[in-house]
């Protein structure tokens, strides 16, 4: 069994981006990070994104509207960032407060600054195998983990558990694409799937994006399969200072004994998400420079 080291692969990508950004003449890429309110997980995610941008040499602008911001006010803020020539990429951290319609906000970000890839245009480009758009960061991170771990999906049965817009659906589309590294035969499972364990057991590559701690157990995994655990779940743990520990959607202690390759939690998909956001920011910068001529 091989552990797929997301920390190592992400830090390789960050080093590559750092060298690329250092070589850029003049203005550096700029990311706008919008965080509405003080959700603790969002505070830590945005801080990590800001720190990683700084490490690479990407300028970041952190905007912290109050949790009471109206949908119309947030829309106006995004429209101003769309018009701001010094901003290459815009990320609005999810989850947003109840009065905000996230999907509408994602669609408001102009497609050429939509580095989170959650707007209609960029998700559509994934379905069209069009590489000029932005692939949302977690699915892009999963595909990069696979390719940098020499896992070619061609001829493989890829089973994705979860059909969210953020992870399950786009990663299924990416695995299905007609291009090198992809070409998988894809099955997507969800909460209404009958006999999910029997389908999971057919997977050569099993991607779990469910949000249920240790849902995937060894009896659901074919020996030798590649297992990608996207889940990040907090479970109570009185032995920890924090009172909780992080666990994935896969029961690592047992599944790791039969998997061919497996990602740990933490240290698997998580660090890749941030690295891919930075990669998308640099891509947005290049695309905008090209458009300017």
> Where does this chain bind ligand NAP (CB under 6 A)?
138, 161-164, 166-168, 189-193, 196, 209-212, 230-233, 269-270, 273
Active site annotation includes 5: no
Q: How far is the CB of 45 from ligand NAP (least distance, A)?
A: 8
Residue nearest to ligand NAP (CB): 164
Letter string b/e over residues 245-272, b meaning 16 or more CB atoms within 10 A of that residue's CB = ebbbbbbbeebbebbbbbbbbebbbbbb
Selecting among 5, 49, 88, 229, the annotated active-site residue is 49
Pull the structure tokens for residue 156: 């493989």
Q: Are strands 226-229 and 205-208 parallel, antiparallel or unpaired?
A: parallel
8 Å CB contact between 175 and 135: no
Residue 66 or 197 with smaller CB distance to ligand NAP: 197
**What is the distance between the alpha carbons of residues 197 and 143, in angstroms, rounded to a whole number?**
23
CB nearer to ligand NAP: pick between 77 and 172: 172
Q: Which is nearer to ligand NAP, 231 or 264 (CB)?
A: 231
Residue number with CB closer to ligand NAP (135 or 230): 230
Active-site position among 93, 113, 261, 279: 93
Cβ–Cβ < 8 Å for 40, 95: no
Residue from 116, 204, 229, 249 carrying the catalytic annotation? 116
Q: How far is the CB of 21 from ligand NAP (least distance, A)?
A: 22
Beta-strand relationship, 30-34 and 89-92: parallel
CB of 215 to ligand NAP, least distance (A): 7
**Tokens matching residue 77:** 């803020």
CB of 49 to ligand NAP, least distance (A): 11
Q: Write down the least CB distance from residue 117 to ligand NAP, Å.
A: 13
Q: What letters, b where the CB count within 10 A reaches 16 and e where it falls short, cover 59-83?
A: bbbebebeeebeeeebbebbeebbe
- Does 28 qualify as catalytic in the annotation? no
The DSSP secondary structure of 92-126, one letter per residue, reads: EPSS--TTS-HHHHHHHS-GGG-TT--SHHHHHHH
Residue with tokens 């040499």: 57
Q: Respond yes or no: is residue 49 known to be catalytic.
A: yes
Nearer to ligand NAP, 126 or 161 (CB): 161
Q: Catalytic residue positions?
A: 49, 93, 116
């Amino acid at each position: 069994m091989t552990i797929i080291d997301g920390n190592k692969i992400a830090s390789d990508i960050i080093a590559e981006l750092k060298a690329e950004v250092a070589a850029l003449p003049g203005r550096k890429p700029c990311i706008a990070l919008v965080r509405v309110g003080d959700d603790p997980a969002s505070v830590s995610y945005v801080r990590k994104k800001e720190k990683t941008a700084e490490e690479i040499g990407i300028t970041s602008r952190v905007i912290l509207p109050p949790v009471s911001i109206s949908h119309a006010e947030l829309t106006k803020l995004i429209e101003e960032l769309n018009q701001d020539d010094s901003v290459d990429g815009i990320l609005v951290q999810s989850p947003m407060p109840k009065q905000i319609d996230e999907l509408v906000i994602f669609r408001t970000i102009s497609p050429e600054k939509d580095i989170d890839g959650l707007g209609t245009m960029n998700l559509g480009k994934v379905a069209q195998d069009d590489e000029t758009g932005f692939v949302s960061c977690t699915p892009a991170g999963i595909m990069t983990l696979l390719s940098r771990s020499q896992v070619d999906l061609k001829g493989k049965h890829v089973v994705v558990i979860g059909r969210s817009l953020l992870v399950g659906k786009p990663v299924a589309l990416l695995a299905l694409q007609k291009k090198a590294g992809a070409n998988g035969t894809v099955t997507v499972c969800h909460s209404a799937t009958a006999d999910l364990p029997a389908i999971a057991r057919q997977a050569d590559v099993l991607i779990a994006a469910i949000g249920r701690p240790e849902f995937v157990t060894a009896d659901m995994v074919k020996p030798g399969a590649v297992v990608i655990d996207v889940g990040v779940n907090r479970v109570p743990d009185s032995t920890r200072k924090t009172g909780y520990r992080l666990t994935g959607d896969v029961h690592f202690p047992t599944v790791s004994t039969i998997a061919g390759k497996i990602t740990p939690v933490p240290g698997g998909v998580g660090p890749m998400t941030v690295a891919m956001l930075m990669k998308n920011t640099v891509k947005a910068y290049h695309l905008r420079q090209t458009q300017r001529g």
